[in-house]
Amino acid sequence: MPGAGILKQAFRAAYEREQFLPGRLGLLLNPFYFARRGLYENLVACRPYLHGSMLDVGCGQKPYRSIFDVSRYVGMEVDRPEARAAGVADVYYDGTVFPFEDASFDCVLTNQVLEHVFTPAQFVREIRRVLKLGGTLVITVPFVWDEHCQPWDYARYSSFGLRHLLEEAGMKILESRKSMSDVRVLFQLANAYLFKINPFTSGRTRLAFSLASTAPLNIVGELASRVLPGNEDLYLDNVVVAEKADHP
C-alpha cells in the first residue's frame, strides 16, 4: 500500500523531530521528552542574551538553531569522522584551541558538551578568549543522567561546581537555572532506562516496546509534577548564563 509507506515516513519524521523539539507529540513519542522539553524551554528563556555573532560549540545537528535571532551563526565540532560525515558543522577543531582570533564573537552557546570535555578549565578559558568583552555565554550541562556517548563522557556538574569553574575562568554569572527540578526527573530516568535496555532486536518491535513505555511514563510524570512539590536539589540539567568579565 503506497499510503502505508507515506504514513511510515511521516511518522519517522515526526518521531525524529520530537527527539529534540518536543511538542504535543513528544509526550507520546519521545522517551527523552522531559529532558528535551526542559532544555528547549530554558534556551528559549535565555534567548535575549544571545545576539550578534554567535558560536555554537559542539553544535551537533544544530537542533536549536531556529530559536535564535543572531546576525551570524557558526557551528563548531571536534574534528572526528562522524562529525565530518554529518556535514552540519561550519568549522572543525582539534578539541583544544578554538580556531578563532580573540574577541571574535558576541555570544557563545554550548549545549550538553562540557561533560564530554576532559580539560574543562581550558575549555572555558577558550570560550572566554573568543568572546568580546561583555559577551555572553549560555551553557547547559547534565547533573543527573546516565553515561552517554561513551567513551567520551567524563563528568557531571552540580550548580556549585559549574559556578566555580566559570568564575575561575573570569566569567560573571548572570543567571542560573535548574531544568526539571521536580518529580519528572524520576520519570525521565525511568524512560531513559527502559529505552536503553530495550530487549528487542527487531526495529518494529523495539519501537513498539519503546512507545508502550514512553507515553504512560510521560503522562503520569506530567500529572505527578502538578501535585507534588519541586526539589531544587534533584534535577536534570544546569542552564547558566555568564558574561565575560574585565579580568580573568
Average pLDDT over residues 128-142: 97
- At 101, the pLDDT band (50, 70, 90 cuts) reads very high
DSSP bridge partners of 66? none
C-alpha cell at 141: 550541562
The per-residue pLDDT for 237 is: 98
Nearest Cα to Cα of residue 141 among 47, 36, 55, 238: 238
> What is the C-alpha to C-alpha distance for residues 9 and 205, in angstroms, rounded to an integer?
17
Taking Cα atoms as reference points, which of 79, 124, 128 lies closest to residue 105?
A: 128
For 173-224, the pLDDT digits (tens) are 999 999 999 999 999 999 999 988 887 767 778 778 777 889 999 999 999 9
Predicted local distance difference test score (pLDDT) of residue 21: 54
- Dig out the grid coordinates for 52 from the structure: 550578534
Q: Which of 73, 60, 129, 132 minimizes the C-alpha distance to 97?
A: 129
Average pLDDT over residues 66-88: 92
pLDDT at residue 121 is higher than 80? yes
Minimum mean pLDDT among 12-26, 43-57, 64-78, 160-174: which range?
A: 12-26
Residue with cell 537555572: 177
